[in-house]
Amino acid sequence: MTPSNFSRAFTVMIGFGLAAVLPAADLKTRNVFLLTTDGLRWQEVFTGAEETLISKENGGVSNTNDLRTAYWRPAPEARRQALLPFIWGRIAKEGQLWGNRNKGSVVRVTNGHNFSYPGYSEFLTGVVDARIDSNDRRPNPNVNVFQWLNSRPEFNGRVGAAVSWAVIPWILNADAAKFPVWSAFDLPAGANRFALSPAVQTLVDRTTPIWGDVSLDTFTGAAAKEMLAQFRPRALYVAYGETDDWAHEGRYDRYLHAAHNFDRFVGELWTLVQSLPDYRDQTTFILATDHGRGPAPIAWKNHGKAISESASLWLGILGPDTPALGERSDSPEATQGQIAATVAAALGLDFNTPHPKAAKPLPQLLPH
């Protein structure tokens, strides 16, 4: 193929939403971290706090003055910076942010359910499976990208997951996948439980639970850091959960605080990996969520098939091989199912050939 023909072929591939998978030797990325926070709306990510929800009536907020001081600014650009300083101070400048529908960037759920198990399964496996229609703790019939990576010799023993929601170990097929998983709750029989340091585990055990199936994000973040210290994972999945649960509680103040903390956890983890020689300038972060939420003033608390707006998502990418295109506008429409193959593509690997039903990687992720 001549250079001009190759260029035309590559353009056609991008036009159809297919990202070329470069050989690993041509990429700087050797490690990939997928970091998600449950049910965080694209509206807060791109426009910051919503004023109508900073109220007792619509947002369950008692101390509106303090919340406004923390997160309200007249301009949306200033509001989002106050809420998510790492995302807008680093990822928006050196990476990419997708999903601002006000600027023609669309990321969407395609499973039709707009709730958690189908959403996590879609972005972890790349597949929409009609059999997945509840949040029950049952094995995932599809292979997820972390399970697949751990089956490869160069990644075996270098994959891990730390999760807040109790159901995710089943979505990850933790029993079959065998890579270490931390959860504050029971794991599937035969799963490889990651052991926290005694001091942190004592805090987990002695903290009064707020919800029956979601642990505090602080513990999930601590588990991720301990995994990094103990076995240097090359592929790490960290799933935070508080944003969704505080929204369901109708507490907009705590929802915003949880979103702000997610941003802080991501920033701290990025600072940590950049301090380690085997991660510095060799690690790609991918940020995402499992579903969106409805609009203010009422439906923001919920999501699901009946709330069409909750199919709208956002995602972020930061790494040494990702073009610094910043906040995307009029970008190719993306789906959450493309995340699984994108995790592999960031490492120069092809997830689609062994799993042809999985969605293709996100376009414009790799240099070309």
Segment 271-298, tens digit of pLDDT: 999 999 999 999 999 999 999 999 999 9
What integer is the mean pLDDT of 75-93? 98
Whether 317 contacts 95, CB under 8 Å: yes
Query: Nearest Cα to 93, choosing from 331, 323, 361, 339?
Result: 323
Looking at residue 368, its pLDDT comes to 54
364 pLDDT tier (thresholds 50, 70, 90): confident
Looking at residue 3, its pLDDT comes to 39
Looking at residue 34, its pLDDT comes to 98
At residue 12, what are phi and psi to the nearest 5 degrees?
Answer: -65, -40
Tell me the C-alpha distance between 166 and 246, whole Å.
Answer: 16
Tens digits of residue pLDDT in 15-27:
333 344 566 668 9
Q: Which residue has the tokens 């240097």?
A: 232
**Residue 12: pLDDT over 60:** no
Tens digits of residue pLDDT in 95-135:
999 999 999 999 999 999 999 999 999 999 999 999 999 99
CB neighbour burial string for 283-302, b if at least 16 within 10 angstroms, e if fewer: bbbbbbbbbbbbebeeebbb
Domain 3-345 has CATH 3.40.720.10: yes
365 pLDDT tier (thresholds 50, 70, 90): confident
Looking at residue 87, its pLDDT comes to 98
Q: Which residue has the tokens 């790492």?
A: 86
Query: Nearest Cα to 362, choosing from 353, 351, 354?
Result: 351
Q: At what angle do helices 217-231 and 198-206 cross, to 10 degrees?
A: 160
**Residue 235: pLDDT over 70:** yes
Looking at residue 204, its pLDDT comes to 97
- Give ∠ CA 234-236-239 in degrees, rounded to 5: 170
What integer is the mean pLDDT of 39-67? 98
Q: Work out whether strand 181-182 and strand 235-240 pair parallel, antiparallel, or are unpaired.
A: unpaired
At residue 137, what are phi and psi to the nearest 5 degrees?
Answer: -80, 90
What are the residue ranges spanned by the domains of the chain?
3-345
Q: Which residue has the tokens 């429409």?
A: 333
Does the pTM surpass 0.85? The reply is: yes
Looking at residue 366, its pLDDT comes to 67
